Structure 1
Amino acid sequence: MLGASTVMSFYRTYRPRVLEEIDNASVRQSVELLLTKPKSQLPHAYLLSGPKGTGKTTTARVIAKLFICMKPKKNGAPCGTCAECVAIADGRYMDVLEMDAASNRGIDEIRSLRDGIALAPSLGAYKVYIIDEVHMLTNEAFNALLKTLEEPPPHAIFVLATTDPQKIPGTVVSRCQHIPFVRASTPDLMHALARIVKEEKISIDEEALTLITGNAEGSFRDAVKSLEQVSFHKGNISVAVVQKTLALSESSRRETFLAHLVAHDGGAALRDIQKLVQDGVDTKAFLVDCLIELERRLVSDVMTKKEGAIPSGLRDLVSRLTQAYGELRSSPIPQLPLELAVVEYCENKAISIKQKEINASPITSRLSPVNKTHEEINNPTAGLLTLEKLSEHWHDVIDELKPFNHSVAGVMRSTRPKDVRNGIVTIEAFYKFHQEKLSETKIKEMIGTILNKLFGEKVKVEVVLGKK
């Protein structure tokens, strides 16, 4: 059932307007500390940093109200109901200026802002500047902003918000009161949704609310948007309704898919993905669900130190699925990165098993002493790197290459180790241009350095063209 917010979205209607309504407990406590001093003694600049949807802009407006509210509460907190507070919440108060640095990132915009700062406030005692995504400013713009932060007029207050604080110069950060935002906890998200459910008179099961919060990835905005989406359902909202409306996957579907992966049944896992797509399930949400379960298993195994409780290739599987998640956004086919991860994971195991069979064969065992070279006899460390070991850890080799050359690491994903003999590692590429790229002297030396780092053995690298 829809109530007062039929004109505006839930997120805008129920955005916290006063300090007590901020659902992020740690942020609320940080802002409450500001109430212990008179306004004239408070910092003139604040830096709010954290993931998207965690309430940075909302908190920035509450801080603006703290300075401008004409009818503060006994503890100094803004009332949220006076004309000034209402105007700030609606984005129409003249002395609170909000600027998006993503689209106003140049030095000209900051100079214009600096010129306006020198002017006295039009209505009250303070003028507040809220700069969102401040990390998008150019270096020149940051330098201009820094001069203003160093010597601000008494009436100027700055609230900078960012999702990437590492990109902000240390000189700017050091002049701000930093309030870090973390992803919202499940209790914080439940508290925020419960307030909306009560006001909108929505009939929804608690398990359904829990499912919404679990899918929000710690974002208040995403949680509220999901609640609004399912609120159009007529009647009581159950877990099944949430799953269908938000295109989420059932736990049984996830468990079946993971079981097929653990068994290295690539065909069955790919069929699971195809069924997923046919049923309209969100691939990203499904992948996150799988990673959450795998992370739980991984941590449980490490904490309890149970051997054999989970497959030995779990770390490799988590790594591949995490990489697939990162590639979802840029993929022209939504499910393709997940399918590629499945194929690579299952094929990597198949190569390792085949090599073990070869090494264990009676013929190989009988011939191995004869095939030892003079170098291997005189050098005890020679031969530590085997094809079996390299095949098993091929993904680790690729991961180690990424910091040196990301494009080479990408090419290596389409190759496999073919042979390890007499101090030479032979890599098999399946495309001519891949072979030519990897055959460059500096690239082969780079790969050799990585192999030496991982396996403690100096080797030369050769690249051959194989048949697909």
Structure 2
Amino acid sequence: MTLYLKYRPQKLEELDSETVRESLKRIVVSGKPPHAFLFAGPKGTGKTSAARIIAKILNCERLASSKKTDSSIEPCGKCDQCLSISQDSNLDVIEMDAASHRGIDDVRALRDAVKLAPAKARNKVYIIDEVHMLTTEAANALLKTLEEPPSHVYFILATTNPEKLIETIRSRVTLISFKKATRDEIVRSLRRVVKGEKIKIEEDTLGLIAKAAAGSFRDAVKTLEQLLSEKRNLSPEVVGEFLFQRKAFEADSFLALLAKKETKKALQELDAAVTSGVLVSNILMAMLERLRGGLLALSGIGEEKIEGFERKEIISLIKLFGKAGKDIASSPIEELPLEVAIVEWCEGTIGRLQSVRLNLNSPLAPGETNSVHSRSRAHDTLDSREQDLARTKSSASRRQTDASSRNLKEVSEEVWRKILATVKPINTSIEALLRAARPVSYDGNTLTLGVFYKFHKERLEDFHHRRILEEVVGRIMGSTIKVICILTSPPAKIETTSKEIPKEEVVLTEGGDEDIIKVAKEIFGN
């Protein structure tokens, strides 16, 4: 017999979910139990175990004549009825799986059976598991019986998806909600097993198993049973590595690499974890749990702060890894979506945009464009008051410097040069692509760019590229701007005088060949 079945709760007091335990105690003490229960909650939270305990209480021979009080509501566990229910041999306690008995004919047979008197027990108890699997016709056929059952019949419906039950059934039952078990509740359950099996194990190890069980009592006991069957060392270090939570992958050290934008080391850390046998889904879950803890800590809930990240950065990472989690199922290489997310954060649009966003609010002095990242790091060291003051000052400066460019009816050559100069430190590829484009029109909300080549147009219309470009243009123009690209013919080369072409035009093409070569390498490889 598996440990979970061997140490399954036999009394209300042994139920590890505190809310369920107290709710059922109050119902039993009242002496008027409802004829239809609905036990709803996630898998492995004790729904079937609680249903059997209720069946024992309804049929226990010792309780038949005794008055229900807090001290005498538990089944004796020794009479014929209690023993037969524990051994699954009681003729009057019928367990049904609605997944395999879901049709209207099955419910009609049940309706005929409930009219018959119990064989030996005082009451008939029907435990219908996964009741949401009943067809609509079968569920409707069950309604009348649930509403007006014979006095000797009780129904206990169990489901993991109560929302899939028709409303008319939910309105006729007494709902008992089984929530995901807390860490302390799972540890309580594990202690009962450890005591019964006389196992020596540390509290930290039980805590690790409880954390890995994700709110399921059954999964926690199964994990402990696997550790025992494989004769593993039960030290926290060994168990932590087995559960892929500690030694094999450390979320905090990995986040520290992301905070420093160290792409190579972060990818190597991921590869080492996957190579050592850590599931990509476990890595993703560990990251999201840690980021969630950091986000809640910034909101004053908990103390799991993450060094090196602000609130917006944590939210961006959660969204990025959340998207990676959705893409894993359809990816031919399981870890590829996570690797893409790492590169996007460290080197791509999201990481760079996040690191320079505050700096875009303040005017850059000549020669200052290459120090954007250092200024961003310096800004991160400010405390909250200094940050508020810095934002106020930068906002005032921006209003002064950009006052002349707000609500422009067209994008002048000077504004266009400013757009190119501002986007270059964020993404040199976009700046190089923009040199093959010119503003065509601007109506205050939409900037239309004429792009000379189809390839350049497609690259600029890429989601990440367009997002950065719209962010930069919006900052400079002083409002939210949408950028649209259209194909146009390259301008003809016309001989002009030096007066017609400002000397600053040279700045736009300075180092142009190197930048274009760099873009080509990024797109086509070396």
Q: Say whether the 8 Å CA contact 1:301–1:309 is kept in structure 2.
A: no
Question: Cα 1:463–1:151, aligned 2, differ >3 Å: closer, same or farther?
Answer: farther
Name the SS of the counterpart of 1:260 in structure 2. helix
Q: Distance in 2 between matches of 1:115 and 1:70?
A: 27
Q: Letter of the aligned partner of 1:181 in structure 2?
A: F
Name the SS of the counterpart of 2:293 in structure 1. helix
Whether 1:70 and 2:55 are equivalent positions in the alignment is no
Please give the root-mean-square deviation of Cα atoms over the aligned residues, in Å: 4.3
Question: Cα 1:111–1:461, aligned 2, differ >3 Å: closer, same or farther?
Answer: farther
Q: Letter of the aligned partner of 2:319 in structure 1?
A: S
Q: In the alignment, which residue of structure 2 is the partner of 1:18? A: 11
Q: Distance in 1 between matches of 2:77 and 2:111?
A: 29
Which whole-Å deviations, capped at 9, do the CAs of 1:24-44 have from their partners, x for residues lacking one? Answer: 111111111122233xx3200
Question: Cα 1:275–1:375, aligned 2, differ >3 Å: closer, same or farther?
Answer: same
Q: Say whether the 8 Å CA contact 2:44–2:219 is kept in structure 1.
A: yes
Q: How does 1:45-444 map to 2 (within 5 A)?
A: 45-72=36-63, 75-232=72-229, 234=231, 237-250=234-247, 253-303=250-300, 310-311=309-310, 312-325=312-325, 333-346=333-346, 347-350=348-351, 352=353, 373-374=408-409, 422=443, 423-424=445-446
Unaligned runs of 5+ in 2: 370-397, 413-421, 428-438, 464-477, 488-518
Name the SS of the counterpart of 2:127 in structure 1. strand
Q: Letter of the aligned partner of 2:282 in structure 1?
A: A
Q: Letter of the aligned partner of 1:188 in structure 2?
A: E
Q: Distance in 1 between matches of 2:321 and 2:313?
A: 12
Q: Say whether the 8 Å CA contact 2:240–2:247 is kept in structure 1.
A: yes
Q: Say whether the 8 Å CA contact 2:92–2:125 is kept in structure 1.
A: yes
Q: Letter of the aligned partner of 1:61 in structure 2?
A: R
Question: Cα 1:128–1:233, aligned 2, differ >3 Å: closer, same or farther?
Answer: same
Whether 1:42 and 2:39 are equivalent positions in the alignment is no
Question: Cα 1:130–1:235, aligned 2, differ >3 Å: closer, same or farther?
Answer: closer
Q: Say whether the 8 Å CA contact 1:183–1:218 is kept in structure 2.
A: yes
Q: Distance in 2 between matches of 1:235 and 1:142?
A: 48
TM-score (structure 1 length as normaliser): 0.73
Q: Say whether the 8 Å CA contact 2:410–2:442 is kept in structure 1.
A: no
Count of aligned positions: 404
Question: Cα 1:118–1:345, aligned 2, differ >3 Å: closer, same or farther?
Answer: farther
Farther off after superposition, 304-313 or 120-129? 304-313
Q: Distance in 2 between matches of 1:209 and 1:333?
A: 34
Q: Distance in 2 between matches of 1:232 and 1:197?
A: 14
Q: Distance in 1 between matches of 2:182 and 2:405?
A: 63
Q: Say whether the 8 Å CA contact 1:131–1:161 is kept in structure 2.
A: yes
Q: Name the larger-Rg structure.
A: 2
Question: Cα 1:307–1:87, aligned 2, differ >3 Å: closer, same or farther?
Answer: closer
TM-score (structure 2 length as normaliser): 0.65
Q: In the alignment, which residue of structure 1 is the partner of 2:391? A: none
Q: Name which structure has the greater RCO, CA cutoff 8 Å, separation 6+.
A: 1
Name the SS of the counterpart of 2:154 in structure 1. strand
Farther off after superposition, 168-177 or 45-54? 168-177
Which whole-Å deviations, capped at 9, do the CAs of 1:75-105 have from their partners, x for residues lacking one? Answer: 2321223232222223232222222223333
Q: In the alignment, which residue of structure 2 is the partner of 1:402? A: none
Which whole-Å deviations, capped at 9, do the CAs of 1:121-154 have from their partners, x for residues lacking one? Answer: 2222211111212222222222112222122122
Q: Letter of the aligned partner of 1:314 in structure 2?
A: I
Question: Cα 1:458–1:178, aligned 2, differ >3 Å: closer, same or farther?
Answer: farther
Q: Letter of the aligned partner of 2:34 in structure 1?
A: P
Question: Cα 1:77–1:354, aligned 2, differ >3 Å: closer, same or farther?
Answer: closer
Q: Say whether the 8 Å CA contact 2:125–2:156 is kept in structure 1.
A: yes
Q: Say whether the 8 Å CA contact 1:22–1:59 is kept in structure 2.
A: yes
Which whole-Å deviations, capped at 9, do the CAs of 1:348-376 have from their partners, x for residues lacking one? Answer: 32462698699969699999968975389
| Percentage identity across paired residues of the two chains | 39
Question: Cα 1:33–1:329, aligned 2, differ >3 Å: closer, same or farther?
Answer: farther
Which whole-Å deviations, capped at 9, do the CAs of 1:344-403 have from their partners, x for residues lacking one? Answer: 4442324626986999696999999689753899xxxxxxxxx98xx99xxxxxxxxxxx
Name the SS of the counterpart of 1:303 in structure 2. coil
